[in-house]
Structure 1
Amino acid sequence: MSVSQMATSRLYKLIESLCSKRNVNLPVELGKCLYEPVENGVELYLAHFLLDSQHSDYTSPVAKITFNVNAQAWCFYVPQYHGEELHWTPYQHLPYSHSLEALIRELESDPQACFWADN
């Protein structure tokens, strides 16, 4: 198993825990946190539900975390739209870190109110 595979496995475990904690006792109208594995990382989304539905009406991107093998650092991105096209841009306040936990703390606490505030 390569370093990046071990690192991404750790990321999946931490993100799954973050989503589980965030979704507990959260009203469905505020959206449910979910993630999708991508190459060397994850993309986080909020699933939005209609009030009378158990199925997601649509999802909106929240953040993306990937591991850069060459830099041996985690890269942290936020979604930006150019027209209708989604682009991931570096998170201005913490674009990368050698500590995965630092990125997870930033995501959980959302000090800039850009991940969870509008959702």
Structure 2
Amino acid sequence: MAISEFEIRRIEKLIGGLVEKRRPAPHIRSKLDIGFRVTGQSFEIFTVRPRWDKPEKTMEELVAKATYVKSRKTWKLFWMRADLKWHSYPPLAETKHLEDVLREIDDDPNGCFWG
């Protein structure tokens, strides 16, 4: 069973708040911006920037991913390692609250998400 439309709107509002807080100034956004997408029971946060070899095209660099496990009512947090695969984020691998996931991504105490 998928997440309800009501929950999707709540999730989008919470993630949108984090993304909006971290976005660069408007005059820089054509060179670097932050976005997110909700797909199924997961969301991804990513940066958007022009490609170095074709500046007219943009590329996304994934920052963080979280997946809701409905059967356990928990969120699992992942980070992208150098092997370009998602790995569980050990300091907060699982939590019941989306707010905890977003706080961990924002604070980034280990430099795994924002560098």
User: Do Structure 1 and Structure 2 share a fold, with TM-score over 0.5?
Assistant: yes
Percent identical pairs in the alignment equals: 23
What aligned pairs does 1:87-98 form with structure 2 within 5 A after superposition? 87-98=85-96
1:80: Cα distance to partner?
3.2
What aligned pairs does 1:26-41 form with structure 2 within 5 A after superposition? 27-28=28-29, 31-41=32-42
Counterpart residue identity of residue 33, structure 1:
I
Q: Which of the residues 79, 102, 105 maps onto 1:104?
A: 102
2:21 corresponds to which residue? 21
Q: Give the conservation status (yes or no) of the 8 Å contact 2:24–2:32.
A: no
- Where structure 2 has 5 or more consecutive residues not aligned to the other structure, the ranges are none
2:49 corresponds to which residue? 48
2:72 corresponds to which residue? 71
Figure out how many residues of one structure are paired with residues of the other and give that number: 112
Give the TM-score normalised by the residue count of structure 1: 0.77
Which digits, 9 at most, give the CA deviation of each residue in 1:73-99, with x for residues without a partner? 0111112354xxx42221121011001
- Where structure 1 has 5 or more consecutive residues not aligned to the other structure, the ranges are none
RMSD: 2.8
Question: Which structure has the highest strand share of the two?
Answer: 1
Q: Give the conservation status (yes or no) of the 8 Å contact 1:29–1:50.
A: no
